Structure 1
Amino acid sequence: MYMDTSSRSLVLCTLVLAACHGLAAAGWSQGTATFYGDADGSGTMGGACGYGNLYNAGYGINNAALSQTLFNDGASCGQCYLITCDASRPGGQYCRPGSNSVTVSATNLCPPNYGLPGGGWCGPGRPHFDMSQPAWERVGVVQGGIVPVLYQQVACARRGGVRFAIAGSAYYLLVNIQNVGGSGSVKAASVKGDRTAGWVQMSRNWGANWQALSGLVGQGLSFAVTTTGGQYLQFLYVVPGWWQFGMTFATNQNFAY
């Protein structure tokens, strides 16, 4: 059966809309996405989660800064999001044709731009992902600058075990908890030294950094961590007594959810 150009376009748009509506009904949410940094992603190293070199911390190049709403004061650090371009919404003409989805790890905060109405794309109430350019190019074309997306949080698949990066001073311990699998983010953490009576509860300082106001220098350290997915693991004797500030210690355990 012959169909003219306008009829074929109408059918195509109807199919795209149906697919996107089906995704939304399956637990997806609407948001927007931009990119920052360089073409090689080097400009995204560091960030408000405190991971530093994202390769060393286990996160790599597929990362994103979350808007204030999604970042949740750092509680979302390390979470993974599956993002797909939504060609059915305004700006969808800048979606990359064909396979246009990618999974990113939350490693930074996209701060609101208070010089723009409503704080800009990363303002309060706006679900937005400011992605590394290599991740962005999986969903959009660079000329677009911003694209509409559908997203959902997914389980993080990490290589190797959880890592503990040690900082602080003689009076407090600051630990950046990295490479977390499963839900990807930490809900609670405790530390135990060779000479402590038991577990010392830690509190979130900023990003993925957890602190304990205890003098633990010179003691071997163990950690107990609960993810936002609800899984609890103990990492016993992971840090030897000769540790120094600035060191990172890897484990052979990781989370499944």
Structure 2
Amino acid sequence: MASSSIILLFLVAFAIRDAHASVNSWSYAAHNNIAGRRRSTLAFSPWKQAHATFYEGGSGTFGGACGYEDVVKDGYGMDTAAVSTSMFKGGETCGGCYEIRCVASDSSSQQGQGGGCNKGGQSSIFVTATNLCPPNYNQAGDNGGWCNPPREHFDLAKPAFLKIAQYKTGIVPVQYRRVPCKKQGGIRYTITGNPYFNLVKVWNVGGAGNVVGVQVKGDDKLKWTEMKRNWGQKWETNAMLVGESLTFRVRASDERYSTSWHVAPKNWQFGQTFEGKNFN
């Protein structure tokens, strides 16, 4: 009997330890605001192969599928890119930063893929993913359907493309890698919608740049509530937010968190933008 009791106690202790180990990451973040203390796992990734084209437009069109209404006003400038479906990942990549360099060669030019790197331009550019380059299944992936899965492709804003490649080229082979995002100021939260449907755009995110989870909390009745991705970097909830001071917690793709305590006052209004704590 004594040995049986010892075994039972061991099993209970093991189960308790395992239960604590399975506490979700949001709960961990609730007790540990680790954005400033935990080192980002995002470093300069290895160079990968892709292609780049460009598209015309203005600051109000380069944000499309990510929900950025105006990439200049939202702090991204014109160094932006629409990425192919395989890279876009349903909007999860929005806000991520990349270094891109043109590596076109004579052989690629002979294959009709360009070869026109801008020798007088920059050796590489740093861009933010702010849009989706949709697939075109009416054309082959290597002949017009540049953004068809599983291709990795950047459709750059024209001003960015011209820094590394010639206008006449149209498409060039490139190398790219993920890099940390450097932003001025804090993370911005723009709240739109109505009392029964709240939509929050999360932007100007440093570090990894792309947000993969958002929670909101009020100072009274509203407990921590997980928001759902509506599209791009716009996050929704039907919870009642009106009348409460709001705290937002975001989780980036490198698994770091940033909590902006009471960033919106009790009297906040729809259409307003609030600035919280950014990643280091």
Q: Any residues of structure 2 matched to 1:158-197 within 5 Å, and which?
A: 158-197=183-222
Q: Tell me what 2:21 maps to.
A: none
Indicate conservation of the 8 Å contact 1:37/1:43, yes or no: no
SS in 2 for 1:125: coil
Q: Give yes or no for the alignment of 1:97 onto 2:116.
A: no
Count of residues in correspondence between the two structures: 228
CA deviation profile, 1:28-58 (whole Å, cap 9, x unmatched): 11100011124xx436443111011112222
Which structure 1 residue ranges, 4+ long, deviate > 3 Å from structure 2?
41-46
Indicate conservation of the 8 Å contact 1:67/1:111, yes or no: yes
Return 184-193 or 195-204, whichever deviates more. Answer: 195-204
Q: Tell me what 1:224 maps to.
A: 249
Q: Any residues of structure 2 matched to 1:83-232 within 5 Å, and which?
A: 83-88=100-105, 90=108, 91=113, 93-97=115-119, 99-118=122-141, 120-232=145-257
CA deviation profile, 1:5-32 (whole Å, cap 9, x unmatched): xxxxxxxxxxxxxxxxxxxxx8111100
Distance across 2 between alignment mates of 1:155 and 1:124: 26
Indicate conservation of the 8 Å contact 1:156/1:181, yes or no: yes
Instruction: Give the CA deviation at 1:116.
Output: 1.1
Instruction: Give the CA deviation at 1:128.
Output: 0.6
Indicate conservation of the 8 Å contact 2:114/2:171, yes or no: no
CA deviation profile, 1:112-151 (whole Å, cap 9, x unmatched): 1122124800111011111111110111100001110000
Indicate conservation of the 8 Å contact 2:190/2:271, yes or no: yes
SS in 1 for 2:73: coil
Percentage of identical aligned residues: 47
Instruction: Give the CA deviation at 1:193.
Output: 1.3
SS in 1 for 2:145: helix
Q: Give yes or no for the alignment of 1:81 onto 2:86.
A: no
CA deviation profile, 1:60-103 (whole Å, cap 9, x unmatched): 11000011011010000000010000133614521111533101
Q: Give yes or no for the alignment of 1:27 onto 2:52.
A: no
Distance across 1 between alignment mates of 2:166 and 2:227: 43
SS in 2 for 1:93: coil
* Aligned alpha-carbon RMSD (Å): 1.7
Distance across 2 between alignment mates of 1:224 and 1:164: 11
CA deviation profile, 1:192-245 (whole Å, cap 9, x unmatched): 112235211111111001112201122221101111111111101111122222
Indicate conservation of the 8 Å contact 1:36/1:43, yes or no: no
Computing the radius of gyration over CA atoms, which structure comes out larger, 1 or 2? 2
TM-score by length of structure 2 reads 0.77
Structure 1: tracts of 5 or more residues without a match: 1-25
Q: Tell me what 1:254 maps to.
A: 278
User: Aligned to 1:60, which of 62, 77, 86?
Assistant: 77
Structure 2: tracts of 5 or more residues without a match: 1-44
Distance across 2 between alignment mates of 1:62 and 1:142: 16
Return 166-175 or 63-72, whichever deviates more. Answer: 166-175
